Each structure stands twice: as C-alpha cells, then as structure tokens.
Structure 1
Amino acid sequence: MARHGKWRTNKTAVVCGEKRLNWGEFNHRINRVANGLVSMGLKKGDKVSMLMTNSIEMLEIMFGTVRAGGVIVPLSAMVTGESLVRMINDSDSIFLFADKKLLNTIESYREQLTGIAADYRFSVGVDADGWGGFERFMSDSPDDDYVVELTYEDPFNIMYTSGTTGLPKGILHTHHNRFHFAAMFAIDFRIDSGAVNIVTTSLYANGTWLTFLPTMFVGGTLIIMPQYDTAEFLRLVRREKGTHTFMVPTQFKMLLEHPDFDRYDLNSMKIWLSAGSPFLKQDKEEVLNRLPGELVELWGLTEGVATTLKPEDMEAKTASIGIPPVGWDVGIIDDEGNRLSPGEIGEIIGSSSFLMPEYYKLPDKTREAMWRDERGRTYLKTGDMGKLDEDGFLYILDRKKDMIISGGINIFASDIEEILAGHPDVKDCVVIGVPHEKWGETPLALVIPYEGAAAVEDDVRDWLNTRVAKYQRVAGVVFRIDFPRNALGKVLKKEMRAEYATIK
C-alpha cells in the first residue's frame, strides 16, 4: 500500500458513491489509522474488531490496523448482538469500530464487551454517546508513514464462520497466508494494475476478498458498492469501465433478468468470478452466452482451500469446479482417512499456502480439522463430498452434513436439484433430508416458483419424481417466497432442516 502511495500517487485507488481517493490520499488515511491506534496503546498482535457495512472507511481501518501490527477482526452484519459479543470477546479485541448502520446492533451489549475500554470504541459516520468519533480520531493522528517490523508468521486477521450458538470459531490467517492469497488469485483472475474491480458483496466476507485483496495488492482500482443494486451495477460498469467483479449465482441471475440489461455496454469486463454456491446448469449456460469477458468459477473455504475452473477449461469440464491454483493441492479420502482413486467418492481435503495455522484458541478443533499425508504435509478436511476425474478436476457432490441417507443409500441433493431446476415454473430450489420412520431420511424439495407460475406443489412433485431414480424421489414439494442465506447468498440448509424436522 505504501509503495502504491509513492509510485501511483495520483491514480484512483478506491471509489464509493461520490467519494474518490487516489493512492496517495488513501495511503495517508491508512497511516492516520495506524498512528492513531499506536498512540492509544495498540501493540503488535492486538486485535481490532470492525462492525461495518461497505465503505472506504472500512478499508482504511482494516489496512491501518494491519500496518500498525494489529490483527483485524471483520464481523458479520448478519448475526445478532449476542453472537457479536461472543465473537468480539473470543477474539480478545481491545478496539471496536462500528458504523452508523450497525451501531444499534451492538450498542445495548457494549457493557458485555469485556476487553474493550470505553475510550477504545469508535463510531463511524455518526456521533453517538459513549463512542469516540472516527473523524476526530483521524484528525488527531498524523499521516506520517508508520513502520512496524512484521514477519510472515504474524497474524493478519481472524474471521468467524459461526457464533450463532455456543462457542464461535475464529479462523486465523497470517501475513504469509494473505500475501499468497493475494498473489495467487491475482494470477488466477488475471488481475493487474489496470484492473477496475467492482465490489458487489460485503467486505467482511472472505469471498469478497477474492478479488478485492488482489486488486489492492497490485495497485488497481476498487469500486465499492455500499449494497448491491443491479441497476447501479450496470451504471458503474459503464461509467468506471469495470474489468473484474465477484458475484454469487443469485446476483448473476438478477443481472441477466434486469429489464435494462441489454441497454448497457459491458464490454470493458474481462473476468466475472462466481463463488459461494454452484450455478444451476441453465443459469451457467446463460451467463456464458450473454456476458462479455470470461467466467471463472471458484470453490473454496475460508480456512484456506480452493479450486478454480478457468475459461479455457469451461467447455470441456463445465460440471467441474476446476483444479487448485499453482502449488496448492486437493484430494479425496474415505471415512478411515485413506486416499481414494479418481472416480471414487469421498471427503475432499485440501492444502495451500493460504491454509490457516489454527482456529483461534481452539487447538482441539484445529487438530480435528486437519489430515496429514505420508510426507507430513497438512491438509484441511473440508466436509464436502466429491470426486476427482482422471485429469485431476474436482467435482462437488454435496456437503457431508447435507448428504441424505435413506434406507442406507447415499443421496446427493445436488443431483435432484439439477433436475428440479429444469421445471419451467421453478425459479430456485433446494433439496434437504427430513426424518422418515421407515427409511431414516427422505428428500424434501423446497421451491421458489416464478411469479404467476401455473403449477402447484403436487404438480412439481409428480413431474420431478418421474425424472429421478426411485431412491431419489421426493416426499413432497413446498413452495416458499425465499430461502435463508449467508452474506454471500449461499442457502443455509441447516436452518431449513431444523424448520422442517417435524414435517409429516
């Protein structure tokens, strides 16, 4: 960042709404955050929590913390105040920044934040009693370069994957991890200093970092959307000459269905990255046929495992989720931990230079998640079921916990969902396992129908059950308005299994 501030001083670094900063200005504000934190007593390794929506200030706090030697803890805007308290306390954070949109989420719980003194809480974009003001904090801090000696082993961030119940689980990444993350995905996604990356998803989510961090790493330009809006995205691509973006499949669908889609020139776009959940076959075909530039699909886990399906492999391996980036690895193991051969189904394991060293303060959970090969190399057990083909391309079948076991037969919900999505009245669908007295579990299909759909639930069930194997037949179809999703649009099947656990 400091080098970009020196050598790309007048080049646009970040844009959000009407606010634009060049690399020189952005670097100076990062310095102000770093100097301000250090002047208040932050030491190398101290944690700084951040509860914010997309903004330039969010990036300033993030990179200012890291420049000062601190560890950034980006918090999800989708969890409750009680869960946020657990995460903040578990992370040992001593500072907290919250913006005006999310301040009320944590305000009534602030006395439960055991590690954060009153003077170390800051509100961003709003004045609030009991909170210091961010702009006052910035104006009191010098913008001189701050230098702290860091090693690759020093922690960079802690990201929480849960925390809704019980103990949260914080994924710790080091500077080594994030350096390789940025460098490897810059290569895979063809991101260079000319990149103009439009951020459409939440900056606290690791999926968003897939393109945002490489863009910052190489000195490109980041266009931040405060929240996703399809019409605004189309305008931004045209106005800013966007070249890269990361979106989840739901966003791609919204984009292609927008009534003004064909009115906008999107030819500046080079790479469209999709991750978070798999494409339905027909949606993927439409993306490939209608969008300019090239599509890249990614499968991965925040812990540090990933594969990408690149444009040159898209036609020949369209059902695959690709191969690992250079130097990374994936494999398949059985329940006893033995490696399986191509074509055999088992749990996916993965290794990379981005692989987390630990779940923060959870050594037992860390050991449970890891697998080591005969050479002592460490892999993560992902919990996803899949297989490799003869060329080494990976195919995802289901989450291990989402696999339906009916009468002793393993049923992969994705196989049923692919067929169900072909019904003309089905806009989106999910298949889950529900309890069955005889078979243990049986599939249940949950469907979001198109507006004005003629079919009723029984019609869709009968249509589907004539097209799947006998053991795959669903017990019923339930129409819904929407599905519960995480920050990146991935359907939360666990919540729906709980909701339908007593269905008859």
Structure 2
Amino acid sequence: MTEAAFASLTTIWATHARFAPDRTAAICGDRQLSWGEFDRGTNRVANALLALGAGRNVPVALVMGNSLEMLLLMFGIVKAGACMVPVSGMLAPPQLAGMLADSGAETVFVSEDCRGLVEAAGLSDKIRRIAIGFSADGWVDGDTLLAGASADDPGVWSRPEDRFNIIYSSGTTGLPKGIVQSHSARTHFAWSNALELGMSRDSVALATTALYSNGTMFMVLPPLLLGGTVVIMKQFNAANALALIEQHRVTHAFMVPTQCIVTLDDPACDAHDLSSLKGLLSAGSPLRADTRDAVVARMTPNLFELYGFSEGFATMRKPQDRPRRLGAVGRPVIGFDMRIVGSDDVECGPGEIGEIVGRGTGTMIGYHNRPDLDEAIMWRDAAGGAFLRSGDLGFVDDEGFLHIVDRKKDMILSGGFNIYPADLEAVIGEHPDVQDVTVIGVPHPKWGETPMALVIPRGTPDPVVLLAWANERLARTQRLAGLELRTEFPRNALGKVLKRELRAAWEQPA
C-alpha cells in the first residue's frame, strides 16, 4: 500500500480547507477559526516543529488550558508526523516532571496559565519550553516562532501505524500509564463515533471537558473528520454550557455524569432552548437511573451513553434502543468485539458476571515503554485472538446489551459476600437530598470490608437520618457501616471519582 492510499485525519482536514475554506471549524469564547485558518495555523505549527527536528513519531508535549491555540498546536504536532502528548495542567509538579520524562518529549508547549506549574516541575535543560501567549527568560517565544513559520502544507504523509498521540491514564498512585494510539486507531475513533452519533458536515459539537483528556475527543475528532464545527469551553460551567447550546445551535455535546447532575441542578436548565441537540453523549462512568430519566425529561430525549476505556474499546446505548433491562449500556461500537470472562479466564455464558474484554480497529498500539503491562492486559480466546482486559465487571443480557456491574478493584468483599458499590449508589442516589454519592469499602475487624457511603448533598440533610433511610432499602448484606457528607470528590479529567484516594483515609499505614 502506498502512503497516499491511507487517508489520515490530517489529509482529510486539508481537504476541508481546500474546498470549504470559509466554513467555521472551531469556536472558543468570542473567537473562531475558519477551516482555511485552521489549515494555515496547523501548517505553521508543523513547519516550525520540522525546522526544530521534531518529525515523524517524535513526542511533543503540551501543558495548556482549553483554547483555539491549543487546538491548533495539538493537530499541528500531528500534521508534522510527530506524536502529540497532551498533559494535564492539574498535576503536581513532580507528577508533571515524571510524565514528561516518561514520554521522552524534548519539546513542550505551555500556556501562561500553566507556566508556574512547568517552572515548578524543574524540567531537564534538554526539554525545550515554548511559551504561548507570554514571553520570559529561558523560554522560546512561541508566538514569534509560529508567526515566522510557513503556512504551506508541510507535505508529511502519515502512515496507519505511525503514532498519533500518547494519552496518559488518570492513575492515582505512581506514574500513570501512557496509552499509545496510532493514526489508524484515531481515524477509526473519528469515523465510528461520527457514524454512531449521527454526525454530519453540518454538526456543531460542544466540548465541555479538557482538551488533554481522551474523552473530549468524542466532540473533536468526529466533527472535524466531517468538516463540522467544534465549540470549545475554556472551563465548564453549567449555565454557560446551556447558553452555548442555544447560541450556536449545538447538535452534539458531551457531558460526564457529574456535569449532567450539576446542569440539572442549575436554575438555567429550564431557561434555554436545547431543541437543536441531536445527541447528548454521557461517558466516563455510568449514569444513575434517576439522572438518566431527568436528562431525557428536561434536556433532550436524544441521550447516548458510552462505556469504554482509552486502551481501545467501547459500547454505546442509543436513544432508539429499548432494552428490557434499563441498566444496559449498549452494544459494541462498530469495529469492536467483546467477551465476558470469569476469574478462571473462561468465557462466561449469557447473564453471567465476569470481566469485560474487548478488541477492534481502535485499540492502542500498547503502553509506552511498558511491554510488561501490554502482556498483562491481554486475554486470548481459544483461537488465540487477543482482547484487552477492562478491569470492569459486567454481563451481557439475552438481547446482546452490556450491563456494567462495577470496577473489579472496587468490588467490596464483606463476610464472604460480593457487594457492588454501583448497586448501593443507585439506591442512595434516589433520595432527593443527594446530589451525588460514591460508596467505598473500608476495613472491618469482623467482615474484612464493609461499605461506607460518601454523599455530596443538596441542602443540609442529617447524615444519621440519611443512613437509616438508605439501610432500610438495602439488603442486609449491603447495609452501610456509615455515611459521611462531603463537598466534593477527587476526580479525574472526565469526572470519574478516584475511589482509591477516598479509601486511603481508612487505610492503616504500613
């Protein structure tokens, strides 16, 4: 196969710019980019990097807040044939330093709001720090660098197996794993989700989460594949998100369950016209049934739910799906296959609970510099076919729909009984004074573990009364040992609660 035979995302973007240069590609705040401007901007980034020696498969990092500049830099890196490494600006300095060292990036683009973090990280002198939107001693002036670069196409053809990006997982201990995704996998991600979500060239997608996060790409890569428009929020705010949907006639949006909850609680929820929404995608963690019903009733009936993991697998539940069991999270996204396997690594039958494993065109190349983890994540069927382990427990019903039971590592083993926190969270979440809830297992001298509920309340409920209310509705083996009120939970970039950090308060020091 010749290089020209593979239509990478970069070549497709260039085609949109060539034949529809005046159409809007991206909006952020009161600024916007046409497709022609998007093309010229990414070309300048690519040509500047090539002049610096950052070519095919070379890792180039970004530590930036959401902006049009970040969008151009991300995909300018890719257009140069280099490997994009987007890094969170919410890390502690040692975490940032470790992640950049692990990635091997010797060039990092930094916005002014992340400058202090990068300077505190004490990066190696070998790492070229490029300032975007500011100037300072010891920094390369990125604005001048890019302004002086050519806006012509850099002429780089990407191959299917080339590295598109390294996305770091949201680990809570040690160094997060770097997930390496190829151009082939990212192209599959773009077209499969565009197809499943019903996007078109006229789609306007709202990105409410951080651009460095893999989940945000649901509202970036599919619409850009089709020549549509991406609306980028600098920072999520429920009232602003609702206003943007109405202002720009947004057709598709992505919100994690926490965002759905706070949006429903915002007074602006019923004050805006959301009729343009053809798809509201929720992912990151399962929606509670009460939240799902409220979204459908008050925001849009066009609710899509996605279960997946960044290593490369997903299922989707669509508005037209009518599963008999309402907890279903869908069937595999086109291009993926799935199995459920037991603790003995034997495939489970219908309705049996086991670990979810998946494979498909969109799976990762592997973990960056961790071949040991590559093998550990694999499950192979009788024919030798390789699937990726999810670490999640679930089952497939007789209609072919997947149901998530819980994280394998979050399951509570109490007195010989398996307790799934998601079951308890669904019950507690029905109380009107509960905005959000998470259940963790804490040590118990008799039972080994016992469930503890942590609740973000509406108002000021009495935790003793709330605990009694919940335990009246739970099975004897599920009953809570305690309930505490919190103002917030530690979360990753997509709003998933970091339960390990919560459990740490109850762990005995070694």
Whether 1:409 aligns to 2:395 is no
Separation in 1 of the partners of 2:427 and 2:96? 39
2:86 to 71, 74, 95: 74
- For 2:6, the equivalent position in structure 1 comes to none
Q: Secondary structure at the match of 2:320?
A: helix
Whether 1:249 aligns to 2:260 is no
> Shift of residue 346 of structure 1?
0.9
Q: Secondary structure at the match of 1:255?
A: helix
Whether 1:451 aligns to 2:462 is no
Whether 1:325 aligns to 2:337 is no
AA matched with 1:328: F
Contact 2:131-2:143 at 8 Å conserved across structures:
no
> Shift of residue 315 of structure 1?
5.8
AA matched with 2:85: V
> Shift of residue 15 of structure 1?
0.8
Whether 1:494 aligns to 2:500 is yes
- For 1:361, the equivalent position in structure 2 comes to 369
Contact 2:111-2:131 at 8 Å conserved across structures:
yes
- For 1:36, the equivalent position in structure 2 comes to 48
CA offset digits 1:340-398 (Å, max 9, x no partner): 00111111111121111210111011100011112232211110011111122111011
Matches within 5 A, 1:124-143: 124-143=132-151
Matches within 5 A, 1:85-234: 85-110=97-122, 112-113=123-124, 115-116=126-127, 120-162=128-170, 165-234=173-242
Whether 1:10 aligns to 2:22 is yes
Q: Secondary structure at the match of 2:334?
A: coil
> Shift of residue 133 of structure 1?
1.9
Q: Secondary structure at the match of 2:210?
A: coil
Gaps of 5+ in 2: 1-12
Separation in 2 of the partners of 1:389 and 1:257? 33
- For 1:479, the equivalent position in structure 2 comes to 485
Separation in 1 of the partners of 2:501 and 2:322? 33
Separation in 2 of the partners of 1:102 and 1:472? 44
CA offset digits 1:230-255 (Å, max 9, x no partner): 22222211221111100011212222
AA matched with 2:398: E
Separation in 1 of the partners of 2:494 and 2:72? 23
TM-score by length of 1: 0.96
Separation in 2 of the partners of 1:488 and 1:105? 21
Q: Secondary structure at the match of 2:180?
A: strand
CA offset digits 1:317-341 (Å, max 9, x no partner): 4311101112311111111211000
- For 2:4, the equivalent position in structure 1 comes to none
Whether 1:267 aligns to 2:278 is no
AA matched with 1:168: P
Q: Secondary structure at the match of 1:383?
A: strand
- For 1:335, the equivalent position in structure 2 comes to 343
Q: 1:199 to 1:6 in 2, by over 3 A?
A: same
> Shift of residue 162 of structure 1?
4.1
1:386 to 394, 401, 404: 394
AA matched with 1:284: R
> Shift of residue 149 of structure 1?
3.0
Separation in 2 of the partners of 1:253 and 1:189? 22
Contact 1:87-1:163 at 8 Å conserved across structures:
no
> Shift of residue 193 of structure 1?
0.7
- For 2:469, the equivalent position in structure 1 comes to 463
Contact 1:79-1:164 at 8 Å conserved across structures:
no
Separation in 1 of the partners of 2:426 and 2:269? 26
AA matched with 2:53: G
- For 1:441, the equivalent position in structure 2 comes to 449
AA matched with 1:50: L
> Shift of residue 163 of structure 1?
5.9
> Shift of residue 168 of structure 1?
3.5
- For 1:62, the equivalent position in structure 2 comes to 74
Matches within 5 A, 1:13-24: 13-24=25-36
Worse-superposed segment, 6-15 or 233-242 = 233-242
Separation in 2 of the partners of 1:447 and 1:168? 27
AA matched with 1:441: E
> Shift of residue 115 of structure 1?
4.3
Separation in 2 of the partners of 1:331 and 1:77? 36
Gaps of 5+ in 1: none
Whether 1:236 aligns to 2:241 is no
CA offset digits 1:69-128 (Å, max 9, x no partner): 100000012211111111111111121001111111111324x33641xxx311111222
AA matched with 1:449: P
TM-score by length of 2: 0.95
Q: Secondary structure at the match of 1:278?
A: coil
Q: 1:80 to 1:314 in 2, by over 3 A?
A: farther
Separation in 2 of the partners of 1:317 and 1:207? 26
> Shift of residue 314 of structure 1?
4.7
Whether 1:47 aligns to 2:59 is yes
- For 1:397, the equivalent position in structure 2 comes to 405
Backbone CA RMSD of aligned residues: 1.5
Separation in 1 of the partners of 2:232 and 2:424? 37
Separation in 2 of the partners of 1:308 and 1:300? 9
Worse-superposed segment, 484-493 or 26-35 = 484-493
Separation in 2 of the partners of 1:86 and 1:266? 43
- For 2:5, the equivalent position in structure 1 comes to none
Q: Secondary structure at the match of 1:181?
A: helix
- For 1:306, the equivalent position in structure 2 comes to 314
Q: Secondary structure at the match of 1:227?
A: coil
AA matched with 1:196: V
Separation in 2 of the partners of 1:482 and 1:297? 24
- For 2:10, the equivalent position in structure 1 comes to none
1:277 to 285, 300, 309: 285
- For 2:300, the equivalent position in structure 1 comes to 292
Contact 1:332-1:346 at 8 Å conserved across structures:
yes
Identity of aligned residues (%): 43
Separation in 2 of the partners of 1:346 and 1:315? 20
AA matched with 1:28: R
